[in-house]
């Protein structure tokens, strides 16, 4: 509907025209380019083609990457570099580093390179070896050796064992050894026979004979018959009188007691013999073992705890020499894949090459085990066992004395990994603990290895969202990671930085052995970098994106059998990438081309405007026009945000609606209450809407609905605003402009279509070449505004109006129409009776005046239906 906008008296108001008249007017309204009274606004806001991008200075670009020296420094990350160096230099507890920056900046590569440079100048850390604790087997001993000495000690210890075993086998198989053993046995046997002989003689005196019955010595009664000594049979015993039998029984008991005492004596003789053999074996073992152990001790002097360990090592071999030679006992069984018993092995958990500097380790899977180490277990005869040879080091062991790099997000994904890392850093030692025992998942036997001192710098890598999440949930983060290294996304674009950026490009070319890039290719890469940064005065530092584009461009040039990579290959790579990632965008544009998504790029509509939005999904981003509508009706002054009401609108979007409401009250509600209500909606929007970049579009649609002045659908607009009507910058300006440009291209260019953006966003313009060419030919237009007034004048093709001395806006202006409608609603609220004037015949002069008035109204795209009303 259109509305007459004459200034109203206290007794007259205007009423809307009929829908038929409105449709006719909307189809005949001119564009802003046809109106002379807003020419100044168009001139002041129009942007030239050269303002839509950063044009490279080819004079400063080398002819090829062949002429560019490699970059030997970090580009644009001076602050982050200083932070990392501070963390390295401060030798105090807690000065670990948290590197924060968006993905793709090359944080890991840059930090790793920086750490490696420092690590080369640092001393090589010591080796660590776990050995058996012969006193407490469940508490293995940790020995510290100079770099590269741990493996040598292990090899020497194992070789010593083999040598000892061979020498023992030779000594114990020698004839002299067996002769000495036989001599001990003979002496013992003779003493035993002598004792038995004396006891036998004593028994014979009592008519008792010592015999061996069932492996036992017993005395039996005897008698002499025909000079022959015979054992008494049972019949013989029965033939004796009771006195004789009692005497024989008493003699047997007497001799049995003496036999028992003799048995003890014989046992003592055997024990003495065994002791003599054992002592002989120990003497021989000492002669073999002690010299070999002395060689180890002499070779590894000043190793804390080694001398005591070697003493216990030698004593254990000497004490168990018989068992060792007999290969008896489970605890002396050979270790897996090794014939050295596990108790005599050495387990090297950390080993370094001599003069190799400090280690720099990156662990991409930091589980509790991988980070802190663990103890493996074996199943033997159905029983789970373990020992110190099954201790496995973690990343902290390997990086001890140097640097460890971890992805914070990966660390947090692993149960108990963060807690374990924090505990190790705060305690300053590496203590192996079984995760199963911590969770009480098993009762199997375990060991408690001696802790190892921890001297390390840990670097965590994270995106800002992850860092702030950890900071919020982990109050102790600041005490463990005292250094934060912030990586920036962009670099200021000047001559020096452009040269450094091209050196970075040359780095990629040389490292990957790619074709040289010519001047046009370098210029195209600089342009794309600024486009990625969305800033004419900046270059993107996303190394991953740059590296991928360089390699893909080389690939296309190589396929074409070219010797140089040119801008054509850069553009080809970009088009291929856009096609690969364009499936989602294509679905949206299919809806637009089929008319499913309702967008108009020509004509005029009341309360309807083309807002601009950006679709972001993973690594895909593209702009789309969105139809935004506003409806108004008499009410209590509230503005309904439909998106917010159905929980599709975010808090920032709601803030924009409140700012718009504040603007309306400040401009039109100073002398009257705004007796209207309104509703705003993004049509065909079914996802989350947030941000305040549509505030200018929403206010424009609302003013159109109030004033009954249609909006030219040839325009799309984006921008935030404040309560004073000043337009503020928004994000994604390039994608938004290109989205509406593509929509206009799809529906057909008229030469009067364009986009209105905040003036502050001019510096962010890095538009596609086809958009720039269309602006240059006048086919498409881009205007940068400072205030909402400029936007309204372009959208509605008439001035917003100025206030006169009476506080009235100029005739036929946008704000005059707004005030007229507000006064009409005020009259309705006040209960004024509205009546039409009866039609009367007028004089020719009056008719001529009326014709002129009608002509003026047609020129201003309005209908004039004046109604007169009396005061109630």
Task: Decide if 788 contacts 761 (C-beta within 8 A).
Answer: no
Task: Tell me how far apart the alpha carbons of residues 484 and 560 are, in angstroms, rounded to a whole number.
Answer: 47
Q: Report the DSSP pairing between strands 639-641 and 620-634.
A: unpaired
Tokens of 559: 């396929």
Task: Tell me how far apart the alpha carbons of residues 867 and 836 are, in angstroms, rounded to a whole number.
Answer: 5
Task: Output the DSSP codes for 54-122.
Answer: ----GGGS-SBGGGSPPP-S-SS-HHHHHHHHHHHH--STTB-EEEE--TTS-HHHHHHHHHHHHHHTS
Phi/psi region, residue 503 (left: phi>0; alpha: psi -120 to 50; beta: rest), is: alpha
Task: Decide if 692 contacts 660 (C-beta within 8 A).
Answer: no
The DSSP bridge partners found for residue 211 are 218
The DSSP bridge partners found for residue 492 are 538
Tokens of 483: 């250094």
Question: Catalytic: which of 107, 457, 736, 752?
Answer: 736
Tokens of 258: 């003496």
- Give the residue from 76, 42, 20, 127 showing the smallest Cα distance to 401: 127
Largest CA distance in the chain: 190
Q: What are phi and psi of 765, to 5 degrees?
A: -75, 120
- Give the residue from 795, 790, 741, 787 showing the smallest Cα distance to 765: 741
Task: Tell me how far apart the alpha carbons of residues 817 and 800 are, in angstroms, rounded to a whole number.
Answer: 9
C-alpha triplet 307, 312, 314: angle, nearest 5°: 95
Question: Catalytic: which of 530, 553, 693, 707?
Answer: 693
- The CB density around residue 672, as the number of other CB atoms within 10 Å, is 13
The number of angstroms, rounded, from the C-alpha of 695 to the middle of its chain's C-alpha atoms is 35
* Secondary structure (3-state) at 865: coil
Active site residue 201: no
- Give the residue from 153, 169, 452, 172 showing the smallest Cα distance to 313: 153
Task: Kindly provide the residue ranges of all beta strands, DSSP E only, lying in 247-386, ordered along the sequence.
Answer: 346-350, 360-363, 374-375, 378-380, 383-385
**Residue reference for tokens 């086919």:** 779
* Total residues belonging to the chain: 872
Tokens of 488: 């920036």
Task: Tell me how far apart the alpha carbons of residues 847 and 110 are, in angstroms, rounded to a whole number.
Answer: 83
Task: Decide if 125 contacts 147 (C-beta within 8 A).
Answer: yes
3-state class percentages of the chain: helix first, strand second, coil last, to nearest 5: 50, 15, 35
Task: Tell me how far apart the alpha carbons of residues 766 and 480 are, in angstroms, rounded to a whole number.
Answer: 43
Residues in contact with 11: Cβ distance below 8 Å, sequence separation at least 6, in sequence order: 832, 868, 869, 870, 871
In angstroms, the Cα distances linking 298 to 157, 434, 464, 500, 847 are: 13, 37, 56, 57, 128
Burial 2-21 (b: 16+ CB within 10 A, else e): bbbbeebeeebbbebbeeee
- Give the residue from 257, 304, 281, 296 showing the smallest Cα distance to 158: 296
Task: Tell me how far apart the alpha carbons of residues 93 and 97 are, in angstroms, rounded to a whole number.
Answer: 12
Residues in contact with 676: Cβ distance below 8 Å, sequence separation at least 6, in sequence order: 632, 633, 634, 635, 637, 706, 821, 822, 825
First to last CA, the chain: 27
Active site residue 123: no
Which residues participate in catalysis according to the annotation?
693, 736
């Amino acid at each position: 509907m259109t509305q007459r906008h004459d200034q109203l008296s206290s007794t007259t108001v205007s009423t809307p025209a009929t829908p038929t008249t409105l449709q006719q007017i909307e189809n005949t309204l001119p564009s802003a380019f046809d109106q002379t009274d807003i020419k100044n606004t168009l001139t002041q806001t129009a942007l030239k083609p050269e303002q839509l991008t950063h044009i490279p200075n080819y004079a400063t670009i080398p002819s090829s990457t062949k002429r560019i020296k490699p970059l030997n420094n970090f580009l644009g990350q001076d602050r982050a570099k200083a932070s990392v160096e501070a963390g390295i230099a401060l030798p105090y507890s807690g000065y670990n580093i948290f590197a924060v920056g968006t993905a793709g900046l090359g944080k890991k590569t840059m930090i790793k390179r920086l750490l490696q440079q420092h690590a080369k100048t640092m001393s090589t850390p010591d080796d660590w070896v776990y050995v058996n604790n012969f006193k407490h087997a469940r508490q293995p001993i940790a020995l510290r050796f100079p770099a590269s000495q741990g493996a040598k000690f292990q090899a020497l210890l194992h070789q010593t064992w083999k040598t000892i075993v061979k020498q023992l086998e030779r000594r114990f198989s020698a004839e002299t050894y067996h002769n000495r053993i036989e001599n001990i046995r003979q002496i013992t046997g003779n003493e035993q026979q002598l004792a038995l002989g004396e006891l036998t003689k004593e028994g014979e005196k009592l008519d008792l004979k010592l015999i061996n019955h069932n492996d036992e010595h017993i005395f039996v009664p005897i008698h002499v018959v025909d000079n022959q000594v015979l054992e008494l049979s049972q019949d013989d015993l029965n033939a004796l009188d009771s006195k004789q039998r009692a005497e024989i029984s008493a003699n047997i008991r007497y001799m049995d007691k003496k036999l028992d005492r003799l048995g003890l004596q014989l046992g003592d003789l055997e024990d003495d013999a065994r002791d003599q053999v054992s002592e002989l074996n120990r003497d021989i073992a000492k002669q073999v073992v002690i010299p070999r152990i002395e060689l180890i001790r002499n070779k590894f002097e000043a190793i804390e705890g080694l001398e005591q360990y070697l003493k216990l090592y030698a004593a254990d071999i000497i004490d168990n020499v018989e068992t060792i030679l007999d290969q008896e006992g489970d605890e002396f069984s050979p270790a897996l894949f090794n014939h050295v018993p596990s108790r005599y092995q050495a387990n090297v958990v950390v080993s370094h090459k001599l003069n190799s500097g400090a280690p720099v380790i990156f662990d991409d899977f930091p589980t509790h085990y991988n980070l802190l180490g663990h103890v493996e277990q074996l199943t033997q005869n159905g029983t789970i066992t373990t020992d110190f040879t099954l201790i496995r080091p973690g990343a902290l062991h390997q990086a001890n004395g140097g640097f460890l790099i971890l992805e914070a997000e990966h660390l947090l994904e692993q149960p108990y990994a963060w807690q374990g890392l924090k505990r190790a850093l705060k305690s300053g030692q590496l203590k192996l603990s079984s995760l199963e025992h911590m969770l009480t998942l098993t009762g199997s036997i375990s060991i408690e290895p001696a802790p190892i001192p921890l001297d390390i710098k840990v670097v965590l890598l994270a995106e800002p969202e992850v860092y702030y999440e950890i900071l919020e949930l982990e109050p102790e983060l600041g005490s463990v990671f005292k250094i934060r290294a912030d990586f920036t996304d962009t670099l200021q674009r000047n001559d020096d930085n452009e040269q450094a950026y091209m050196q970075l490009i040359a780095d990629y070319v040389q490292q990957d052995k790619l074709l040289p890039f010519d001047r046009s290719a370098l210029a195209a890469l600089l342009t794309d970098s600024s486009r990625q940064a969305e800033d004419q005065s900046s270059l993107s530092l996303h190394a991953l994106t740059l590296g991928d584009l360089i390699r893909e461009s080389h690939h296309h040039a190589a396929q074409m059998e070219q010797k140089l990579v040119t801008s054509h290959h850069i553009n080809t790579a970009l088009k291929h990438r856009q096609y690969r990632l364009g499936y989602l965008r294509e679905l949206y544009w299919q809806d637009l081309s089929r008319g499913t998504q309702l967008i108009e790029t020509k004509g005029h509509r009341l309360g309807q405007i083309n807002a601009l939005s950006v679709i972001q999904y993973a690594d895909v981003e593209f702009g789309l026009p969105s139809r935004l509508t506003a409806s108004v009706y008499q009410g209590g002054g509230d503005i309904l945000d439909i998106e917010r009401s159905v929980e599709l609108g975010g808090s920032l979007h709601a803030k924009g609606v409140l700012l718009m409401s504040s603007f309306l009250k400040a401009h039109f509600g100073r002398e009257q209450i705004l007796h209207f209500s309104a509703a705003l909606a993004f049509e065909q929007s079914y996802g989350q809407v947030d941000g305040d970049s549509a505030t200018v579009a929403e206010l424009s649609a609302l003013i159109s609905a109030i004033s009954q002045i249609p909006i030219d659908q040839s325009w799309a607009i984006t921008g935030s605003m404040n309560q004073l009507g000043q337009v503020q910058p928004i994000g994604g300006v390039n994608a938004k402009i290109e989205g509406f440009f593509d929509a206009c291209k799809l529906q057909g260019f008229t030469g009067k279509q364009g986009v209105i953006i905040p003036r502050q966003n001019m510096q962010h313009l890095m538009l596609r070449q086809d958009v720039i060419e269309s602006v240059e030919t006048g086919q498409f237009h881009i205007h940068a505004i400072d205030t909402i007034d400029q936007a309204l004048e372009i959208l509605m093709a008439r001035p917003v109006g100025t206030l006169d001395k009476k506080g009235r806006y100029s005739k036929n202006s946008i704000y005059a129409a707004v005030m007229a409608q507000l006064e009409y609603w005020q009259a309705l609220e006040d209960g004024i009776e509205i009546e039409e004037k009866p039609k009367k015949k007028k004089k020719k002069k009056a008719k001529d005046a009326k014709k002129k008035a009608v002509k003026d109204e047609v020129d201003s795209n309005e209908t004039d239906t004046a109604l007169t009303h009396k005061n109630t």
